[in-house]
């Protein structure tokens, strides 16, 4: 599904006219299989969100290739309807003057679905994320954080994509709501048989949802391991992360 080979990314450092560049990602290579949930775990500043933007085609790598279904992910036609995203900042993820219905209709209409046909999908989508039809006409400011994020998830699954990328999508939510959303994501994945890229600093959340986890440290891959083998990790850094969770 997703193939990343020898990807590197750096940003200009020290002002507009500076020639200095700070490397953020170094020689990143991995694959994510169809239907797989891959967790990308790292501390703040590790480069995981930069990697997320590259995977979504929002930015281009300086070197290396990112392929989605064998084609370059930077091609908009490759991503359209096939790759969706849910971000950490749900407050800016939905246009403040859009109703819930309008927010969910947006990707459906971009897929050139007839408006009435698209509108008929709103209630089932809301139901799948635990919201009733009364939410159709509500605006983002009328919803709780957890409810807005559920709307974002409904919008992400509306086109039945091959893969959804979640970038710290639960980190701004309260603990009990986080668990509800994780359970929701687990159920939706089974329902649609889709893959996830789950970017997080929370190794517990990744272990609950993912098949494999990839640990990133200072822009490099530290280790990739199946969730059931987390207790057997080799790198000292990953062992420390696990010990922090247990403690």
pLDDT at residue 113, rounded to an integer = 58
> Token pair for residue 40?
């990308």
> Token pair for residue 79?
């991503």
- Residue 15 CA to residue 19 CA, distance in Å, equals 9
How confident is the model over 197-239, as pLDDT tens digits? Answer: 999 988 889 999 999 999 999 999 999 999 999 888 888 888 8
φ/ψ (deg, to 5) at 11: -125, 150
> Token pair for residue 154?
């409904």
Enumerate domains of the chain plus CATH numbers: 1-82+163-174+197-247 (3.40.50.300), 88-160 (no CATH)
How confident is the model over 79-124, as pLDDT tens digits? Answer: 887 899 998 877 778 889 999 999 999 888 776 655 667 888 999 9
pLDDT at residue 44, rounded to an integer = 86
pLDDT at residue 75, rounded to an integer = 84
CB count within 10 Å of CB 123 equals 15
pLDDT at residue 19, rounded to an integer = 79
pLDDT at residue 246, rounded to an integer = 56
pLDDT at residue 59, rounded to an integer = 92
Q: What share of the chain has pLDDT > 70, as a percent? A: 95
Q: Are 79 and 162 in contact (CB under 8 A)?
A: no
3-state secondary structure the chain: CEEEEEEEEEEECCCCCCCCEEEEEEEEEEEECCCCEEEEECCCCCCHHHHHHHHCCCCCCCEEEEEECCEECCCHHHHCCCEEEEECCHHHCCCCCCCHHHHHHHHHHHCCCCHHHHHCCHHHHHHHCCCCHHHHHCCHHHCCHHHHHHHHHHHHHCCCCCEEEEECCCCCCCHHHHHHHHHHHHHHHHHHCCEEEEEECCHHHHHHHCCEEEEEECCEEEEEEEHHHHHHCCCHHHHHHHHHHHC
How confident is the model over 138-148, as pLDDT tens digits? Answer: 999 999 988 99
Mean pLDDT across 180-190: 92
Residue 171: pLDDT band (50, 70, 90) is: confident
């Amino acid at each position: 599904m997703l193939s990343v080979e020898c990807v590197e990314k750096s940003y200009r450092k020290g002002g507009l006219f500076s020639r200095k560049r700070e490397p953020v990602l170094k020689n990143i290579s991995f694959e994510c299989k169809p239907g797989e949930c891959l967790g990308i775990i790292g501390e703040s500043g590790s480069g995981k969100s930069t990697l997320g933007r590259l995977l979504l085609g929002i930015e281009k790598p300086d070197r290396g290739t990112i392929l989605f279904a064998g084609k370059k992910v930077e091609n908009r036609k490759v991503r359209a309807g096939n790759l969706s995203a849910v971000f950490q900042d749900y407050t800016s993820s939905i246009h403040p003057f859009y109703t819930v219905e309008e927010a969910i209709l947006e990707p459906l209409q971009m897929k050139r679905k007839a408006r009435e046909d698209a509108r008929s999908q709103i209630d089932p989508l809301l139901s799948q994320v635990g919201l009733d039809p009364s939410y159709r006409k509500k605006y983002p400011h009328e919803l709780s954080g957890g409810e807005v994020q559920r709307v974002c998830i409904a919008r992400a699954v509306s086109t039945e994509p091959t893969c959804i990328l979640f970038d710290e999508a639960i980190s701004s939510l309260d603990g009990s709501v986080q668990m509800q959303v994780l359970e929701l994501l687990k159920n939706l994945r089974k329902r649609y048989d889709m893959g996830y890229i789950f970017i997080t600093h929370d190794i517990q959340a990744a272990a609950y949802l993912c098949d494999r986890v990839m640990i990133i440290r200072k822009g490099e891959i530290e280790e990739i391991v199946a969730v059931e083998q987390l207790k057997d990790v080799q790198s000292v850094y990953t062992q420390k992360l696990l010990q922090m969770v247990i403690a």
